[in-house]
Structure 1
């Protein structure tokens, strides 16, 4: 009896969804109701809901993913929420894009490499080179244990490896790119501690030297309003911009107006392309990320925090050493703090010291990449650097001694880590072709080039 009643309820609900899918005037609602009809009434026919719908067509891949906690309100994104909530289908094609948490960073590139190998196997063709995969899923939490694994496998798994290819990066524009450098990252905590407990500002304000005031004061000495780093020794360690590098930046396809619109600002730190790209990629920067212990919830709170901790980072570039940066920052902040003559205590700690990575764009690996891109996309690639940090690149280089190339296929507008992260179907398919072509080009490199 219960089963029959449940079946009748499902039938009624799915029928209502089916009718609403035709009667609703909103295309997003039509898709949502039509999908719900097939979900509740005939799950084995899910694929028909995609095949019978008018454009945009939808096709699915099944992966276990984590999702963004917030869900915007547009119809398209609401439909995404329905799928994410009720099924394991988390990457799908909509309007020519593959949407899903981690779609571009970095599941689609991993799959593209696997499909590149599969293409050779499907055609009963021998791979032009031997391929080994290293796939790990904890980058966003620090890749704990990865460096130790590489060290342990240096003389076994990696012993016969000639070259290393990384695809955890993206294009700068619509032009394909090869990445030849990333910045490092020195991440700091600056803790100021005063009273033994939080205090009421109405009772104690004006009688104590507040830790928050001290902390804001020393943070203000890290960088000038124009972006100049004020810590002695940081800027002096950076190699000057060469004429060859300036020309390379000048030739890169980059629209500053589009960049401003993308991030939602009306003014950038620099007004010309070369200066902006140089400070994005090859000069160090200071960023203040937050203050632990400070009141940040909505509303008002009249508390004087007893202890506050600032979190800031310095993106470092080649010729900078994390150990030296740690000493420079620690000494400088303590000297600035001493001038305040505050009774509070300052503690500076560097919690991350990731080194930068830089490759030679004239290496045979990059020459092979240029040829492969020309073959697939019929254009020359942009040679770019990343402002972010990919520590594993430097680890591979230092531990194995092998040459490395970064070959991205992700688009400049993929929205990494956002609610609507995506990889375009064009980038995915053409990127797979690129990987296939690149394997062939790498096979032409003489083994003397390492």
Structure 2
């Protein structure tokens, strides 16, 4: 091939950006278009990370340096499956990489889970992160709230629910989110983990941040705070687990004071059984679990019901199917072999690859995405000789197609405008930025209209 390899990456979150970065560092000349259905880049970092996590959001600085590379072009507000089909991409690019992530809540099949007041964690995260397709209003009219899960998302949800709204005024939260949190009636947030403290999936940083909140007391309930042989071994061999358990043990030794505006309760070895209520959530029923010695748990047949007017399940994310691409509904992933997308017969679809959570499932931290992208890109480069060549590889041809179809796409220059606009909104309030939420406003600002 005498011209640069033309690559379309669908999804401009960390997975897609890391894949693009690795491609630019290869010996193969490339031209990469990062396509995203949102008018702005960064995916999970912009719309899935709690606004009071400035250190995690600092990843944007590294992603920005990658996006500014001359081999990479950003095309936002382009909805794959609506604005463009697979055959369109295959006509204009030599290879396509899907990095669409996981955007839905994994279901939890227990009675009452669909009662009003029961929510998936992603719904709440999208609201407080100003996701354009999320509801603008969120009712927090219950005093007791249950959060199901033992990962970082569960901690984020619990922390934001317990946090004083004024303490978020230094962040980028939109005005409607501040107003919703300011009107919150929440006094007690209860987080329930099915397994023990040594099996928790959150990170030490996320855990310790719970204890640095104004007017929020952390109460660790000693019932269920148990360690078995496997737990002890994990503590001896894993520094992260050791730190988590030590932090929790310190909290367990405190005497609850109940002298703050809000309390965040941690319950271990409590498995969800049912959300109770008639017309809305009124309680949350759990089964008491016990460790089996190998890190697993089993039910004891003993049950507890806790008062709750809202329930948030943070039991994992789930990817959405991708049009024109096979999808494993059980795993929630695109069938693939080390990033090579497979058809229904298990054969590699020439020139089609995947990376990130849509490839491996929603596990691991943002940093793990780099290794995942490296595997996919190495296999793509190994396949270079067999890739089908695009019929219309000119970089302007895809732009002409988008304009012909009336797609109001946004660009990297447009993101610079939107970014500056959000920062100017924040400046007048002494904040780093205030996020623009409505999609149409993001598009107009980005396009200078």
Report if TM-score (shorter chain) is over 0.5: no
State the structure with bigger RCO (CA 8 A, min sep 6), 1 or 2: 1
TM-score of the two chains, using structure 2 as the length reference: 0.24
Structure (1 or 2) with the greater helix fraction? 1
TM-score of the two chains, using structure 1 as the length reference: 0.24
